[in-house]
Structure 1
Amino acid sequence: MIETTGDDRRFPPALAEVARVGFAYEEGEGVDFEPYDAFESAGGTSDWLRHWTGNHELDGGAYRIFGQDGTGGLAAVWCVRPGRALVEQPVVFFGSEGERGVVAGNLSDFLWVLADGFGPMEAALHVERETRPDPALGTLAARYATTPRRTAQAIVAEAQAEFASFSDDIDALCR
């Protein structure tokens, strides 16, 4: 098992494959997600976090940004579980207007969220909407997931309960 360290920026194979998937989004329909093919650099992540929070003393070491939506909102792996592999860390969303939320408890569950037709923004902010299962993403998730398939609603609810203080913790970082 690979442990997460402050400088671990190895892109998980599952995210590399997600980056090759085309996400359709038109007129407010579909999944508004543009995955990256590598994590944002450590410096770029720190710069973003400092500007997003207004706190220029922070570094972004706890986050691995791996995609965005059309408004500039970002999806990230949040390295909050010490000594655990990157794929065992939760996935979070930071909106361009200050919105934020926990998307999934780990990368495996995030793959199931995508397969259920939700991008990071939709899962964090609009998980009550109708599911739109994507067969190709379902196949991808089945190939890489180590957790059982569940609905996006169940995954998001479980992750948000586990990390119930996420939003308050982020508020505490803001200046």
Structure 2
Amino acid sequence: MNSATDTDRTFPAALAAVAEVDFYDDHYLSVDEDEDEYHRFDFEPTAYFESAEWTTGMFRSWTGNPEADGDVYLPFGQDGAGGRAMVWRARPGRPLSDQPIVFLGSEGEVGVVAGNLSDFLWVLADGYGPMEAALAEELASRPEEPLVRLAERHATTPRRTAEEIVTETRAEFPTFKEDIHAMCR
């Protein structure tokens, strides 16, 4: 699982564009008419990848395993509780844009979000942040137009719903959660 040897840490332009979006403060999705409430993204993107040293320390702390290696993870954002959205270099020799996006929550939650950066943009456009996409059982489409426009500018894959993308990614990486939890002490 952690055999990727790529060292590219160049921050992708698409993630830089995501970092400019104000998700946490005043970035609301449409009102849920059934519940009469606003849905918010719980996502604070960064405009950089955390350092390799920081990432290894975070991963070792998260797993409780001093031997755990976080080399294949590139954190680029968090939720309000400190859970991390990360690029997972699971496909050796392929560019960062082709790598899956995953989420590690502050309370041990784990999940895949999208199979590549482009699909991650469509997940955001469909109304879901990394935590929500990784953990939700059902993902009802609720497009957010500013994020649709961002995805249209940067995505290289066709537009699909978050449900389609997350379902496909979970099928491609069915043991991600178990593999991560196996590293925990």
**For residues 63 and 18 of structure 1, do their structure 2 counterparts lie closer, same or farther at Cα, with a shift above 3 Å needed?**
same
Residues in 2 aligned to 1:39 and 1:28: alpha-carbon distance in whole angstroms: 30
**For residues 166 and 139 of structure 1, do their structure 2 counterparts lie closer, same or farther at Cα, with a shift above 3 Å needed?**
same
Measure how far apart 1:59 and its partner are: 2.3
- Counting only pairs closer than 5 Å after superposition, residues 19-168 of structure 1 correspond to structure 2 as 19-23=19-23, 24=27, 29-126=39-136, 128-168=138-178
Matched to 1:11, the amino acid is F
Q: Which runs of 5+ in 1 are unaligned?
A: none
Q: State TM-score, norm by structure 2.
A: 0.88
**For residues 52 and 28 of structure 1, do their structure 2 counterparts lie closer, same or farther at Cα, with a shift above 3 Å needed?**
farther
Residues in 2 aligned to 1:110 and 1:39: alpha-carbon distance in whole angstroms: 16
Measure how far apart 1:17 and its partner are: 0.5
1:173 matches 2:183: yes
Residues in 2 aligned to 1:109 and 1:74: alpha-carbon distance in whole angstroms: 18
Matched to 1:84, the amino acid is R
Question: Does the CA-based 8 Å contact 1:93-1:121 persist in structure 2?
Answer: yes
Instruction: Give the fraction of aligned pairs with identical amino acids, expressed as a percent.
Output: 62
**For residues 20 and 172 of structure 1, do their structure 2 counterparts lie closer, same or farther at Cα, with a shift above 3 Å needed?**
same
Partner secondary structure for residue 111 of structure 2? strand
Matched to 1:73, the amino acid is G
Q: State TM-score, norm by structure 1.
A: 0.93
Residues in 2 aligned to 1:85 and 1:28: alpha-carbon distance in whole angstroms: 37
Structure 1 stretch 131-140 or stretch 158-167: which is displaced more?
A: 131-140
- 2:15 counterpart residue number: 15
Question: Does the CA-based 8 Å contact 1:127-1:156 persist in structure 2?
Answer: no
**For residues 127 and 32 of structure 1, do their structure 2 counterparts lie closer, same or farther at Cα, with a shift above 3 Å needed?**
farther
Measure how far apart 1:28 and its partner are: 7.4
Look at both structures and tell me which one has the larger radius of gyration over its CA atoms. 2
Count of aligned positions: 172
Measure how far apart 1:126 and its partner are: 1.6
Measure how far apart 1:131 and its partner are: 3.0
In angstroms, what is the RMSD of aligned CA positions? Answer: 1.7
Matched to 2:132, the amino acid is E
* Deviations 1:10-43 (CA, angstroms, capped at 9, x unpaired): 1000000000001126987211100001001101
Partner secondary structure for residue 68 of structure 2? coil
